[in-house]
Amino acid sequence: MDYNALAERLLPGEYPALETFEKRYPPRDLPKNAEVTRLAPSPTGFIHLGNLFVAIANERIAHRSGGKLYLRIEDTDLKRRVDGAVEAVIEALKYFDIRFDEGAGIGGDDTYAPWYQRQRAEIYRAYVKDLLRRGRAYPCFCTEEELAALREQQVANKEVTGYYGKYAKWRDAPEAEVNAALDAGKPYVIRLKSMGDAARKFTFHDEIKGDVTVQENDQDVVILKSDGIPTYHFAHAVDDHLMRTTLVIRGEEWLASLPIHLELFDVLGFRRPKYGHNCSLMKMDGQSRRKLSKRKDPELSLSYYRQEGYHPFAVKVYMLTLLNSDFEEWHMKFPDKPLEEFPFRIGKMSRSGALFDLDKLNDISRTELSRLSAEEMLAFLKEWAQAFGTEEQKGYFADEAYLLKVLTLCMGIGGKKRRKDFVTAKQALAEIGYFFGDAAQRDAYRVDEETRNAVLDGFLATYSYENDAQVWFSKVKELAASIGFAAEMRDYKANTEAYKGSVSDVAEVLRIAVTGRANTPDLWTIMQILGEERTRARILSARA
């Protein structure tokens, strides 16, 4: 077999010498232990929590080490392409504070561009041609049907499936046969001529999983598809070498193809990067758990959390608690320290997949939201409302001074007495709805109409906006006593039979009348914020 002739026939013309790529994409000038990491999504435009999970790990490790994080777009599969996807990805990640140093759509240093694999076709072909010349790659003319039949046969024989060894039909095909196929214009792919032996195993050190035993690759994998575009495996090797990636952190679903990648790096004469395969986020699906999937779990897309009004900081904190087991403790100890100061370590990453826990996220959200200043909270709510809120909710921001009063005086935002009422912006705006217009929610009264009217009328008779909280409440107590309810909870508990109810029942009537809800923060404060007129009007209209 004349490899040079074959290479020339398959990929005719002049290709740059491989050394020119080494010169064009020189090693990076970075501090000693700096890591260069990347995110390499395919442009489907859809990213979910699992992607963010890996993204945060990559970002933290790159930037903690003084290295770089870049964005590369793996658009080798046309079927996956969606317009505007790259912008969507950048936007979504930026929302969660993931900053790229360079890459597709980022600007910054373009030394290692282009960042789209389709635009790098000539580079890959140059390397493929070299492999062809060296006899380490060859064309394969098998049709899909042939491959499927081979597979079927292997399954029937209980053999390992795939294109390898004696099943690699075109691996050592005679020159004449290859040329005949070419003359006939048969479509073909280029495959790697693997030198590996699956029977040989070796230990590989994974930065996250530790030592793993793997077997050598013996599959003659496709490296150049029939459309002349490389497969993921080949593009990964070429790009991560030329872009000078030092550490590849990716989902553990890639672990199985690691031997392929290793062989590719070796045959191309590239220095292998370090790898860290991180566990995927799992989700409960019926009785079993499985990894998050973009097809099955649209509700886990990043845009979902944004729409629901989760604060990006809270989501990030949750991701970090799953990513590094000692993060949670650190963050509780230093709640005000910027997240960047946390000594994130790849070695602390979990080896097994964590189940996504909405309760935990909600708890973190509540806590983080309670730490916001009133101004921050207002800005956060406003931004969300403008994008996703109802018209009515957008109206809440017409009088920001009033909203600020609601937030600080009533909900305790920015104060020392923390309440944790808010989980999301969406829920927060619904929560404070009764300060605006009429209360949408109407909890049922638990007392009869006669008692209800007595409470309402009695309250109105002595109510004064000028009264402070103590005086106000003592009046409520007096009212309670006057209609046969216990003024003191203590008395009521001591002798339930002696009363129709307690002061809390009386307060509840007032609360529902004014807010529509049985449970709210301090009622006196609410009345103060609403003002005398509205308070009276609401109580009046609540009479049966």
Partner RNA sequence: GGCCUUGUGGUCAAGCGGUUAAGACGGCGCCCUCUCACGGCGCAAUCCCGGGUUCGAUUCCCGGCAAGGUCACCA
Residues 237-276 that bind RNA (CB under 7 A): 252-257
CA distances to 171, 254, 468, 488, 498 from 481, in Å: 97, 72, 20, 9, 12
Maximum Cα interatomic distance, the chain, rounded to a whole number of Å: 109
Give the Cα separation of 165 and 171 in Å (integer).
Answer: 8
Write out the binding residues for RNA, residues 2-31 only, by CB under 7 A: none
Interface stretch with RNA, choices 87-95, 297-305, 352-360, 382-390 (CB under 7 A): 352-360
Residue 150 or 268 with smaller CB distance to RNA: 150
The CA-based dihedral angle spanning residues 138, 141, 146, 150, taken in that order and rounded to the nearest 10 degrees: -10
Write out the binding residues for RNA, residues 386-445 only, by CB under 7 A: 417-421
Write out the binding residues for RNA, residues 91-130 only, by CB under 7 A: none
Non-local (6+) Cβ contacts of 115 within 8 A are: 70, 71, 72, 73, 102, 103, 104, 105
CA distances to 171, 336, 436, 454 from 535, in Å: 86, 39, 12, 17
The closest of 213, 207, 299 to 249, measured between CA atoms, is 207
Residue 286 or 338 with smaller CB distance to RNA: 286
Give the Cα separation of 440 and 205 in Å (integer).
Answer: 59
Residue 61 or 281 with smaller CB distance to RNA: 281
Taking CB under 7 A as the rule, does residue 82 contact RNA? no
Interface stretch with RNA, choices 158-166, 170-178, 294-302, 389-397 (CB under 7 A): 158-166
How far is Cα of residue 123 from the mean position of the Cα atoms in its chain?
Answer: 32
Write out the binding residues for RNA, residues 482-501 only, by CB under 7 A: 489
CB of 446 to RNA, least distance (A): 11
Write out the binding residues for RNA, residues 291-310 only, by CB under 7 A: 291
Of 225, 294, 394, 500, the catalytic one is 294
CB of 400 to RNA, least distance (A): 24
CB of 382 to RNA, least distance (A): 22
Taking CB under 7 A as the rule, does residue 508 contact RNA? yes
Interface stretch with RNA, choices 5-13, 62-70, 351-359, 398-406 (CB under 7 A): 351-359
Interacting residue with RNA among 299, 357, 457, 532 (CB under 7 A): 357
Strand blocks (E) in 8-59: 36-39
Interacting residue with RNA among 56, 57, 89, 142 (CB under 7 A): 142
Non-local (6+) Cβ contacts of 437 within 8 A are: 392
CB of 239 to RNA, least distance (A): 10
Interacting residue with RNA among 29, 83, 144, 468 (CB under 7 A): 144
Is 316 designated active site? Answer: no
Taking CB under 7 A as the rule, does residue 40 contact RNA? yes
Non-local (6+) Cβ contacts of 141 within 8 A are: 170, 181, 186, 187, 188
Taking CB under 7 A as the rule, does residue 147 contact RNA? yes
> For the packed helices 503-515 and 523-530, what is the interaxial angle rounded to 10 degrees?
30
Residue 100 or 167 with smaller CB distance to RNA: 167
CB of 543 to RNA, least distance (A): 20
Taking CB under 7 A as the rule, does residue 282 contact RNA? yes
For 302-348, give the DSSP string. HHHHHHHT--HHHHHHHHHHHHSTTHHHHHHH-TTS-GGGS---GGG
Give the Cα separation of 30 and 10 in Å (integer).
Answer: 39
Give the Cα separation of 114 and 23 in Å (integer).
Answer: 15
Query: In the stretch 207-226, what mask flags binding to RNA with x, by CB under 7 A?
Result: --xx-xxxx------x--xx
* Residue positions annotated with a catalytic role: 294
